[in-house]
A and B are shown apart, each in its own frame.
Chain A
Amino acid sequence: MNSPLEQYLRQLQQRLRFVPARWKGEQIAEVRQHLEARVEELVASGVAPREAEEEALRHFGGVGQTARSLMVAWWRQFLPLDVVTRRAASVVVAGWLLTIVIYPLLFSLYEFASLGKLGINLLHISYAVHLLHFFLVGTVAGRMGGRRGIAATLWGFVGGWTIARITGEILFAIQMSDPQARQQFEQALAQIARGEGVVMRTGPEMVYCAAMLFAGAYFATRHQLRRAVV
């Protein structure tokens, strides 16, 4: 079935994502009825069937816009966000999810009991630097949207990561000046060499990253909070 109407409905079926199947089916059925009624009217007024379909679809509007509006209408019940329709905001959230997973795994090797000379775990500061940077950039990215927003998000992730690594290395060097911290770190390395697994303290870091994730996601997309007025 290659009629314009069937193609439109097929594309709408594909683009209507993240909604329940039954609800999707109802929307497609309603749209089909609407378009068929319009086509019938046009044909009755003397328009050729294929032209009538094209005219009806022009009147109805683009399939992408229709699908996005319907998805927003569905998700509006649960979220005051239109994240599903803003790619840049989605990239920001995805970036933060990567951060919350990758950071504890890669940097947890540094997480040992010593509090260092200053009495705090300085590596948490490097996390804060990274996440703050990412949060600030994410806020900008969320406002920009589109390609610039995605570029800003990627810069935030890469740039923030780089800054955090540099910060982390500096803080690590400071921490290693503490003999007790150095000893514990060497013990952790020895454990790894014996195949006893990586010494990880992911609990506090996961909580910390999760808190930054949600706080950052909230503030970055707050300016997009609007009811789906259509």
Chain B
Amino acid sequence: MNPNRRDLPKNDLPLLILATLEDGPRHGYGIARAIEGVSESALRLREGSLYPALRVLEQDGYLQSEWEVQPSGPARKVYTLTDSGRAELQKRRAEWEQYARFIGTILRGGQKPNEQPA
């Protein structure tokens, strides 16, 4: 287990769900594993928060879901990004990157990246 694990902030989960589905449809458990996998288990997701987040994203029209019949076992609910979801992902990604740039600038004492200290 990654010793530097930290809890995933609640407000970040919708963005990560959208980003995970950018590559293709997944079911809920697959989304959870993808988030943990990409973060190399550094982000600790309370998995119970995943399904309410999926409901909210569906209600907002960013995801669509359908139950897929499996060759064996019960049907599974699979989520796909909609066109609105892709647009929303781009928007939130840009906001996040801008936010990360601002924080980085502050942490570097006001120096922008690639800027030489005075």
User: Which of B28, B46, B51, B59 gathers most chain A CB within 10 Å?
Assistant: B51
Question: A34–B32 contact, CB under 8 A?
Answer: yes
- Tell me how many residues of A have a C-beta within 8 Å of chain B: 26
Provide the A47-73 mask, 1 if CB < 8 A to any CB of B, else 0: 000000000000111100110011011
In the bound complex, how far is the Cα of B19 from the Cα of A173, in angstroms? 71
Within the complex, the shortest CB–CB distance from A217 to chain B, in Å, comes to: 24
CA distance A76 to B32 in the complex (A): 23
In this assembly, does A177 line the interface, its C-beta being within 8 Å of a C-beta of chain B? no
**Bound complex: CA of A161 vs CA of B86, how far in Å?**
55
Say what secondary structure dominates the interface of chain B: helix
CB nearest neighbor in B for A34: B29
Contact with B47, one of A26, A29, A60, A227 (Cβ below 8 angstroms): A60
Flag if A228 contacts B52 (CB, 8 Å): yes
Residues of B within 8 A of A (CB): 10-11, 13-14, 27-29, 32, 46-53, 55-56, 59, 74, 76-77
Top-6 shortest CB links A-B: A61-B48, A66-B48, A69-B52, A73-B55, A73-B52, A61-B46
Could you pull out 14 A-B pairs where Cβ atoms are within 8 angstroms?
A: A29-B77, A30-B77, A33-B28, A33-B74, A34-B32, A61-B47, A61-B48, A66-B49, A69-B48, A69-B52, A70-B51, A72-B52, A228-B56, A230-B56
